[in-house]
Structure 1
Amino acid sequence: MSDLATTQFSYRSQKELTIWSGYPAYKPIKGFEKPETTTRIFKYSKYGHVYAYATSEGAKVFEASSLKQRCEIKRINLLDLWLSPQGSFMATWERYTKLEDGSGAKNLNIWDTETGELIASFVQKAQNNWTLTLGESWLGTSNGPKMKSTALGWYPVKSSFGKAETSAKGAPAIVRMYSIPSFASPVSNKTFFKADNVQMFWNDLGTNLLVLTQTEVDKTGKSYYGETNLYYLAVAGNFDCRVPLDKEGSIHDVTWAPDSKEFAVVYGSMPAKATLFDHRANPIHHFGISPRNFVRFNPQGRTICIAGFGNLNGTIDLWDRKTLKKVNTFAAPNASHCEWSPCGRYLMTATLTPRLRVDNGFKMWHHTGTLIYEEAVEELFQVGWRPEPASKYPAMRTISPAPKPIKVLPSAKPVVTNTAPAGAYRPPHMRGGAAPTSLADLEAMMNRGQSPSHRRQVPGAKGKSSASPAKSAPPPQEAKPAPVSNLTPEEKQKKIRNLEKKLRQINDLKEKASKGDALEPAQVQKLATEATVLRELATLK
């Protein structure tokens, strides 16, 4: 399959909504009439047949392939929308209002996308904390993510769905799976004794379900974020188990392989561990321990992306599933969105508003880790590929060489092409010559012969003193931890809790620094102790 097959993606910014072609053009598609007002949301249907967007004036629905308009729905309070998998129907949510008689207006509406005809209407007060799943012949809703006495959510795949519920506070949670439309009795169920919240992850075939449970409080005191567990359930009811995770800490991400026979999990206190499991939840391969919290297979299942976003520094590892060898490691600093193209050859990363309001835009990386294209977009809110069947783009027999880059902005940093340790963590605002905010940053710059006053200027920002905060920060004194063998179990757990608290504070400081906020000398000193805290925590655990 040639890389010349055209893919499609859309992005929404403060100024415009546009639809682009993918490799090799990377330019707006002609014939799409952009809305004149700010767009609130856009969606592709699950199989990519239909595209829709909403503005303050209503919604428009299009054939995704030709961009021919299907229908227009005029509703001034419309804020959200959903499409059925084939795009035959659309659900819209409007701001809740009361009628003169005190009853609520029906603000959740179902429309026929071919004719624009209103099919059904319901009352749904809140925009958040509930779920909606729209099929071609049925609709599933829930009241919220907290499991009180109502359903958590409906997660249908073909002819199955799961429902989670509890009967009272303190009672065990129950996940029941049903075959649509037989709702009289579940085909399978599982009870969980530690679950305040539940997330469900179906495989594409609808044969197996991963259930991620979380408690609001970890009664053992090991984690500030509560206790998480992962369970594997077969719809047939003939097999279930707890997924064996051999590193304590939170579960950061879970994903199924496209063939529905394998899944990957990133878990454990930072630095986290990533593991590949088979269809019976047996570990196949460990990808190592590193600061990562994201994992995705490409649509053909050949390449696996394992990355660290959010408070982490945006490092991305690409692995070849066939050989289980690392293809490349590179960095996408400040990325808040990551998604494989339908062809499986390109990985999109993007920096979005409101997480970061500077350096917004998107980048396209070849599956070898080479940056092919990037575009700066002011106030970028949303970006996403048009879904297409993986069968349209057959799996690669070998990892193909990267094509020549099409557009790389002058500010782009060289791709990291080796897997050797890159040295001390450098916050995003430090990359590109900004002023150091830790002694390690200052020392690294001096070793390269750079002046600490060399820093990147943000357009429109007022000038700041060239003196680095690190100059006034005394060198951090690396405390020698007491031998673990001399600690009682109670003292050990207390020390672990204190160290985890310090790590949370350090992560908060990293987040603050990444936004360009100045750090006090004491805060810089605390940042510089991260490696020490991690080492001591690893020793205790």
Structure 2
Amino acid sequence: MSTNKSITQFSFRSQKELTIWDGYPEFKAVNNFEKPDTTARMFHYSRYGHVYAYSTNLSVKVFDASTMDKLCEIERANVIDFWLSPQGSYLATWERPTKLENGAGSNNLVIWDTKTGQEIAAFSQKAQNNWNFQWTDDEKYCARMVTGEVQFWESKNIGKSVWARLKLEGVAQFSLSPGKAPAVAVFIPEKNGAPAIVRMYSIPNFNTALSNKTFYKADRISMYWNDLGTNLLVLTMTDVDKSNKSYYGETNLYYLAVAGNFDCRVPLDKEGPIHDVTWGPDSKEFVVVYGSMPAKATLFDHRATPVFDFGINPRNFVKYNPQGRTICIAGFGNLNGTVDLWDRKTLKKINTFAASNASHCEWSPCGRYLLTATLTPRLRVDNGFKLWHHSGTLIYEEAVNELYQIGYRPEPAARYPMRNVSPPPNPIKILPTAGGGAKAAAVPTGAYRPPHLRGSATPTSLSDRAAALDGIGRSPTSQRRVVGAKSGSSNANNKNGKKDVPSPKPQAQQPVVNPEEKLKKIRNLEKKLRQIRELKDKMAKGEELAPAQQQKVTTEVAVMRELANLQL
């Protein structure tokens, strides 16, 4: 694994393989990761990225995410779900409950020490929803919900006598806050005409609530803490909209301060459902996407006052980059995948592009790259992922058959200082096409697909691709081949160069280019690059580019690749 701290890391899981890659500019598998021999069921990073774990039908394996050294292996064949504590010191597993001979339920919720793999506590937990333990950020305390109460332990004494109890009749949900002064928020649904309640308490002072908010129209809720743990957004949902304005029920958003000195209903001036909400990394503002389609996106300050309107568009997703400089507002799922990138400092739109069929989206920890992915079973064709520079340029694309899960290793944003919104690194790392001077296939969107990932229409395994990315050219179980990938937007095959894999179709002979024509092409490509860089300079200064100019910028990688081949 690379020791370069500027290189981010991400993992992805397909039907056939689980792997971990270095991010930009490497885009290759790490060398010392112990891949599972059988199909992986899921993987997780701990909240702060210290630990990585995956499960199979045989066991759960836990690794140090920095070194990829195996910490432990928990041999349990029936793990349905698992979760890691924030610092990665503990792991909780949940299995389907079974009845013992005496009629009691099995201890199917188990807590493990990730350093030793030792079981340290076990409980009976029938329901899978709300099953997992929650820990405070520093892992000093942990909690779980049982009927009528939330039980707390000091983490060093999990499974021993309960340290503290928060007894509340009808409690249905709880959430521990992040931050240095942890609080707990609890939700009690409506019952017999009484309103629903959200209360917040300081841990472990449960005699008096810090904050108390009652409301109707709340069958269930989602809770969104800011990173400091000082404020909470509560999204309330009903199963049925009694006004018959929405098929999906009714939603409302409430703002609560842990200090108890302020709470309100967030003023949303467009009727319809709330699609997404996110806090800014500074914990002082948040963005809400709401209303019947096309939806509205609004920025609110720390007192829930609207301060900026991003406009009305078919969007249902919003996310700040970790540094808080760029905001992604997009339309995924049943929408067309359009992504808007906004500069938070100037509140001007940077770019708009299409991430068609995307069902997953997240920022890299460095805040400079946006990952979009098409996952199965949400969509069973065109599975794979794309990396976009924060200026909106597509810089990498990889097709992955039956891609189930993908995610970055979390890292502190402070490791990657906030930078101005700028064009992609110049020059982007471009290599000539494999085969010595063969003409590169045109990529209509300017997507960066390294040469070793072009050349074959036959999808290959991830191990083949990883071997090619490492410069090896072969995997332990396959002959050498030019690794390729077919994406939904383009077919980046090398149609003229030689292939190491037999093809049923005859290959066209590489046309001979005389020196004058070659020199003329080089000059034309260099001219295009100068024009593109001028446009990127304008973009960096905040100027709005016409659609044709934006399209020209996206061709930079294809132009650079073609130039690299001609200069061989």
The question of a shared fold, defined as TM-score above 0.5 by the shorter chain, is answered with yes
What letter is aligned with 2:274? I
Q: Structure 1 residue 187: deviation in Å? A: 1.0
1:150 is matched with which residue?
A: 171
Residue 107 of structure 1: aligned partner: 108
Which has the larger displacement, 69-78 or 407-416?
407-416
Q: Which residue is equivalent to 1:32?
A: 33
Amino acid at match of 1:114: K
Matched letter for residue 96 of structure 1: P
Q: What CA distance in whole angstroms lies between the structure 1 residues aligned with 2:146 and 2:129? A: 9
User: 1:143-222 to 2 correspondence within 5 Å?
Assistant: 149-158=170-179, 159-166=182-189, 168-222=191-245
Higher Rg of the two aligned structures: 2
C-alpha displacement at 1:217, in angstroms?
Answer: 1.7
Specify the alignment match of 2:500 in structure 1.
Answer: none
What residue ranges of structure 2 are gaps of 5+ in the alignment? Answer: 148-167, 434-439, 448-487, 491-568
- Compute the RMSD of aligned alpha carbons: 2.4
Relative to structure 1, the CA distance from residue 181 to residue 376 in structure 2 (aligned partners, 3 Å threshold; closer, same or farther) is: same
Give me the whole-angstrom Cα distance separating, in 1, the residues matched to 2:234 and 2:29.
40
DSSP-derived class of the 2:41 partner: strand
What amino acid sits opposite 2:386 in the alignment? K
Equivalent residue, structure 2, for 1:253: 276
Q: Which residue of 2 aligns with 1:21?
A: 22
Residue type matched to 1:141 in 2?
R
Tell me if the contact between 2:171 and 2:186 (Cα under 8 Å) persists in the aligned partners. Answer: no
The residue number in structure 2 matching 1:362 is 385
Partner letter of residue 19 of structure 1?
I
Q: Which amino acid aligns with 1:94?
A: E
Deviation at 1:402, TM superposition (A): 4.6
- 2:50 is matched with which residue? 49
Q: Give 1:141's aligned residue.
A: 144
Shift in alpha-carbon separation, 1:180–1:129, aligned structure 2, 3 A: closer
Report what 1:92 is aligned to. 93
398-407 vs 378-387, which moves further: 398-407
Partner of 1:9: 10
- Cα pair 2:363 2:369 within 8 Å, conserved: yes
Letter aligned with residue 307 of structure 1? A
Give the superposition deviation at 1:160: 1.4
Query: What secondary structure does 1:391 align onto?
Result: helix
Q: CA offsets per residue over residues 497-530 of structure 1, 9 Å max, x none?
A: xxxxxxxxxxxxxxxxxxxxxxxxxxxxxxxxxx
**Alpha-carbon deviations, 1:276-329, whole Å to 9, x = none?**
111111111100000000000000000000000000000000000011000000
Post-superposition offset of 1:4: 8.3
Query: Partner of 1:233 in structure 2?
Result: 256
SS in 2 for 1:153: strand
SS of match in other structure, 2:414 = helix
Q: Name the amino acid aligned to 1:122.
A: F
Partner secondary structure for residue 308 of structure 2: strand
Structure 1 CA distance, aligned partners of 2:105 and 2:15?
Answer: 32
Decide whether the 8 Å contact of 1:89 with 1:112 is kept in 2: yes
Q: Percent same amino acid among aligned pairs? A: 66
Does the 8 Å contact 2:10/2:408 carry over to 1? Answer: yes
Which residue number corresponds to residue 116 of structure 1?
117
Deviation of 1:150 after TM superposition, in Å, equals 2.5
Q: Does 1:61 align with 2:62?
A: yes
Tell whether the 8 Å contact from 1:52 to 1:59 is kept in structure 2 after alignment.
Answer: yes
Match for 1:206: what amino acid? G
1: distance between equivalents of 2:446 and 2:306? 31
Residue of structure 1 in register with 2:158 after alignment? none
- Contact between 1:201 and 1:255, CA under 8 Å: does it hold in 2? yes
- For residues 368-383 of structure 1, the aligned pairs below 5 Å read 368-383=391-406
Are the structure 2 counterparts of residues 334 and 411 from structure 1 closer, same or farther at C-alpha, using a change threshold of 3 Å?
farther
SS for the counterpart of 1:39 is: coil
Instruction: Give me the whole-angstrom Cα distance separating, in 1, the residues matched to 2:292 and 2:317.
Output: 14
Q: Distance in 2 between matches of 1:132 and 1:410?
A: 52
The answer to whether the 8 Å contact 1:330/1:415 transfers is: no
Q: 2:304 aligns with which of 281, 300, 303?
A: 281
Supply the AA of the counterpart residue of 1:52: A
| Correspondence for 2:348 | 325
Superimposed CA distance per residue, residues 47-80 of structure 1 (whole angstroms, 9 cap, x where no aligned partner):
1011111111111111100001111110111121
Deviation at 1:207, TM superposition (A): 0.4
Structure 1: which amino acid aligns with 2:69?
K
Q: 1:401 & 1:128 partners in 2: Cα distance?
A: 42
Cα deviations across residues 327-368 of structure 1 (Å, max 9, x unaligned)?
Answer: 000001110000000000000000001111111111100001
Cα 1:15–1:286 shift into 2, 3 Å: same
| Residues 84, 134 of structure 1: 8 Å contact kept | yes
After TM superposition, list the pairs within 5 Å mapping 1:448-467 onto structure 2. Answer: none
The alpha carbon displacement at 1:179 in A equals 1.1
Contact 1:50/1:62 (<8 A) preserved: yes
Q: Is the 8 A contact 1:310 1:336 kept in 2?
A: yes
1:78-113 residue CA offsets vs partner (Å, 9 max, x unmatched): 121111111111101112211122211101100111
Number of equivalenced pairs: 415
1:272/1:355 Cα in 2 relative to 1: closer, same or farther (>3 Å)?
same
Deviation of residue 131 (structure 1)? 5.2
Matched residue type, 1:282: T
1:199 counterpart SS class: strand
The letter for the 2-side match of 1:217 is V
- Residues 83, 132 of structure 2: 8 Å contact kept: no
In structure 2, give the amino acid aligned to 1:254: V
Distance verdict in 2 for CA 1:4–1:108, change over 3 Å: closer
Q: Residue type matched to 1:288 in 2? A: G
- Partners of 2:189 and 2:442 in 1: how far apart? 53
Distance in structure 2 (CA, Å) of the matches to 1:77 and 1:327:
48
- Closer/same/farther in 2, CA of residues 259 and 332 from structure 1, 3 Å limit: same
Residue 406 of structure 1 deviates from its aligned partner by: 5.8
Deviation at 1:126, TM superposition (A): 2.9
Distance 1:96 1:398 in 2: 51
The alpha-carbon distance between structure 1 residues 415 and 210, as it changes in their structure 2 partners (threshold 3 A), is farther
Q: CA deviation at 1:184?
A: 2.4
Partner of 2:445: 414
- What's the CA shift for 1:142? 3.9
Counting only pairs closer than 5 Å after superposition, residues 433-452 of structure 1 correspond to structure 2 as none
Match for 2:177: what amino acid? P
TM-superposed CA distance for 1:251, in Å, is 0.3
* Worse-superposed segment, 192-201 or 202-211: 192-201
Closer, same or farther: CA 399–114 of 1 in aligned 2, 3 Å: same
Q: Are 1:213 and 1:228, in contact at CA under 8 Å, matched by a contact in 2?
A: yes
Alpha-carbon distance between aligned partners in 2 of 1:128 and 1:13, rounded to the nearest angstrom:
25
Partner Cα distance (1:130, 1:71) in 2: 23
Q: In 2, distance between residues paired with 1:372 and 1:256?
A: 28
Q: Aligned partners of 1:65 and 1:371: how far apart in 2?
A: 28
Shift of 1:137: 3.0
TM-score (norm 1): 0.73
Partners of 2:40 and 2:55 within 8 A in 1: yes
Q: Is the 8 A contact 1:131 1:153 kept in 2?
A: no
1:295 is matched with which residue: 295, 318, 324?
A: 318
Does the CA contact (< 8 Å) of 1:131 and 1:143 recur in 2? no
Contact 2:189 2:219 survives alignment (8 Å): no
Show the counterpart of 1:534.
none
